[in-house]
């Protein structure tokens, strides 16, 4: 009988070339991650490429995209109250320093945000509260 460790390792090795799930159960978020966040190609830095792909995707869907630089570490609470279900925010530099990370975490925890995606270099926040509130982590 094979020990459980080897059995799990064998199963994992068999699935390496086939698994692309990112651990995401939501079809909406999975599509967004595969088509926008983790897509490759384009000019500029990875953050600029992500911004370009997200701008294109938002214009196709009819969403309003705002870009916030989290370097100042201030969460724009006055603007949060004006967000609608069609608004999307791309937060840049979320791991630049402790104040930026704190501002990102407070945006994720805010009850006015729905789905959030932490892509390491940047974060994406949706304000459609019909979707189940969840924060997804994606490695680029």
Q: How far apart are CA 78 and CA 32, in angstroms?
A: 28
C-alpha–C-alpha distance, residues 59 and 49, integer Å: 16
Q: Is the pLDDT of residue 86 over 90?
A: yes
Q: What is the predicted pLDDT for the residue at 54? A: 92
The pTM score is 0.80
Q: In the numeric block, which tokens belong to residue 72?
A: 């100042």
For residue 116, which of 35, 19, 37, 48 has the smallest C-alpha distance?
37
Q: Give whichever of 12-16, 58-62, 98-102, 119-123 has the largest mean pLDDT.
A: 58-62
Whether the predicted pLDDT of 126 surpasses 80: yes
**Other CB atoms within 10 Å distance of the CB of residue 54:** 21
The percentage of residues in the chain with a pLDDT greater than 90, rounded to a whole number, is 31
Question: pLDDT tens digits, residue range 59-78?
Answer: 999 999 988 887 776 677 77
- Quickly list DSSP for the chain: ---HHHHHHHHHHHHTTT---TT---HHHHHHIIIIIS----SS-HHHHHHHHHHHHHHHHT-EEEEEEGGG----HHHHTT--TTEEEEEE-TTSSHHHHHHHHHHHH-TT--EEEE-SSEEEEE--TTSPPEEEE---
> What pLDDT, on the 0 to 100 scale, is given for residue 41?
75
Question: What was the pLDDT predicted at 20?
Answer: 60
Task: Pick the range with the lowest mean pLDDT from 7-21, 78-92, 108-122.
Answer: 7-21
Instruction: Give burial (CB, 10 Å; 0-12/13-18/19+) of 83.
Output: buried
């Amino acid at each position: 009988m094979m020990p459980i460790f080897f059995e799990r390792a064998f199963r994992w090795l068999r699935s390496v070339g086939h698994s692309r799930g990112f651990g995401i159960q939501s079809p909406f978020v999975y599509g967004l991650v595969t088509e926008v966040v983790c897509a490759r190609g384009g000019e500029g830095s990875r953050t600029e490429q992500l911004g370009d792909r997200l701008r294109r995707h938002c214009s196709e869907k009819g969403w309003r995209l705002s870009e916030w630089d989290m370097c100042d570490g201030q969460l724009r609470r006055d603007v949060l109250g004006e967000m609608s279900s069609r608004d999307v925010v791309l937060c840049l530099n979320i791991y630049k320093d402790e104040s930026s990370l704190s501002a990102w975490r407070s945006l994720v925890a805010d009850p006015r945000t729905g789905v959030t995606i932490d892509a390491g270099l940047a974060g994406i926040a949706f304000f459609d509260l019909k979707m189940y509130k969840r924060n997804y982590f994606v490695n680029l």
